[in-house]
Amino acid sequence: MQTAVRTLGLCKSYRGKAAVDHLDMQVPQGEIYGFIGANGAGKSTTFKMLAGLSNPTAGQIEIFGQPLEQGTFGRRVGILIEDAGLYGSLSARDNCLLKAKLLGLDDEKSAVDRVLAQVGLEKMGKKAAKRFSMGQRRRLGLALALLGDPDLLLLDEPSNGLDPEGIRDVRLLLQQLQAERGVTILVSSHILGELEKFATCYGIIREGRMVQQITAAELSAQCRDYIALQTPDPHRAAALLEEKLNLHDYTVRPEGELRIYDAADPARINAVLLEGGAAVRSIGIHRQELEDYFLQMMGVDDHV
């Protein structure tokens, strides 16, 4: 499969502190790549470097097989990074017309009408962008990214500020673009449950480094069963299980739940904990959600 975006040893430092640290990323062409990481993990910095807005400290970026520095693919890439980048005193249509002129589109007015209709802003009239709600600004940012029918979309939190209907609309639109035109979409989102619904592959970034790249099918296969244990002192319970049952693959959730991924008998666990004087409020077998997997990979869980 051809690669739309490839980074090799990509680094970015601010005042000596690494924001992106030797990031190796491969985004297959025609896929929806969910880029996942906690706040400050380096997602936006990576997006900025891919869009040519920020100079990498080290490393290489290739877009459609060409080094980024050659800069010949700008019109094939649509971006929405952080805020939408709108001229506040201008209307949605004028903001789009400016981008259309920059792109040198032949039929700029019909192209603008089309993207505004795609994001549901065709009836905004002359209302200045500075008076738009956050969701409307996001939609307009998406419209700007879609202008010129790009082959690659770099979307940083496109659903930020959208209502549930807007989130669904964006998802359907992106799925449609991928299915009909084979557009490659690199998208980050904090709404992991939403991302699960349409991403076809994922990259998980933690502290500027790529932790894992995985397809949706592989991810689904990796989601494991676990034993969920509610106890007043999960850390003590975990220590007991390590000592008595040699269980090491577990996490302690922020809400105090102990999750044991090692194959073990819940009845045996219960007995060991009771013997050790650790009260058990509840115990049961669960299926790991994709969101839990991401959180675990992103290092959000507090592993003892």
Partner 1 sequence: MFEVFRMDRYRMQRQKYLLTAVLLGLGLIALGYVFLTLLSDQETVNAMQAQGAEITAEDMADATVFAGYTLLEYMYQMLFAGGFWVSLIAVFGGVFCAEDYTSGAVKNIFSTLGCHWPYVVGRALCLLVYNALLMATYLLIPLALSPVLVFGSVGGNLMGWLQMYLSACLAGWAMSMCSMFLSTLVRREGWMALVALCVGTGVPALMLGFACQLLHLPDLTRFTICGCGRMITPDFQPMTYLHIAVVCLAWVVVYGLLTDLSLRKRDQA
- Which positions lie near partner 1, rule CB under 8 A? 48, 51-55, 70-75, 77, 79, 81-90, 94, 97-99, 101-104, 144
Check if the beta carbon of residue 48 is closer than 8 Å to that of residue 58: no
Of 50 and 177, which CB lies nearer to partner 1 in the complex structure? 50
Instruction: Kindly state the smallest distance separating residue 105's Cβ from partner 1, in Å.
Output: 9
Dihedral angle over CA of 180, 183, 186, 190, nearest 10: -20
Of 51 and 205, which CB lies nearer to partner 1 in the complex structure? 51
Instruction: Kindly state the smallest distance separating residue 25's Cβ from partner 1, in Å.
Output: 18
Of 99 and 171, which CB lies nearer to partner 1 in the complex structure? 99
Of 78 and 234, which CB lies nearer to partner 1 in the complex structure? 78
Strands of 225-230's sheet, edge to edge?
250-252, 257-260, 225-230, 282-287
Instruction: Kindly state the smallest distance separating residue 234's Cβ from partner 1, in Å.
Output: 43
Of 150 and 234, which CB lies nearer to partner 1 in the complex structure? 150
Of 103 and 173, which CB lies nearer to partner 1 in the complex structure? 103
Of 73 and 261, which CB lies nearer to partner 1 in the complex structure? 73
Instruction: Kindly state the smallest distance separating residue 232's Cβ from partner 1, in Å.
Output: 48
Of 50 and 297, which CB lies nearer to partner 1 in the complex structure? 50
Provide the angle, in degrees to the nearest 10, between the axes of the packed helices 92-103 and 108-118: 130
Instruction: Kindly state the smallest distance separating residue 133's Cβ from partner 1, in Å.
Output: 17
Q: Which of 132, 105, 107, 102 is nearest to 120 (CA)?
A: 132
| Residues 249, 145: Cα–Cα separation, whole Å | 43
Instruction: Kindly state the smallest distance separating residue 294's Cβ from partner 1, in Å.
Output: 26
Instruction: Kindly state the smallest distance separating residue 266's Cβ from partner 1, in Å.
Output: 51
Instruction: Kindly state the smallest distance separating residue 120's Cβ from partner 1, in Å.
Output: 20
DSSP letter string over 9-44? EEEEEETTEEEEEEEEEEEETT-EEEEE--TTSSHH
Instruction: Kindly state the smallest distance separating residue 74's Cβ from partner 1, in Å.
Output: 4
Specify which residues 11 forms β-bridges with. Answer: 58
Of 81 and 258, which CB lies nearer to partner 1 in the complex structure? 81
Check if the beta carbon of residue 230 is closer than 8 Å to that of residue 236: no
Check if the beta carbon of residue 30 is closer than 8 Å to that of residue 14: no
Q: Which of 5, 224, 216, 123 is nearest to 140 (CA)?
A: 123
Q: Which of 64, 66, 70 is nearest to 4 (CA)?
A: 64
| Residue 279 exposed, middle or buried by CB count within 10 Å (0-12, 13-18, 19+) | exposed
User: Which residues 6+ apart lie within 8 Å of 28 measured at CB?
Assistant: 1, 2, 3, 4, 184, 201
- Collapsing DSSP to helix, strand or coil, 134 comes out as helix
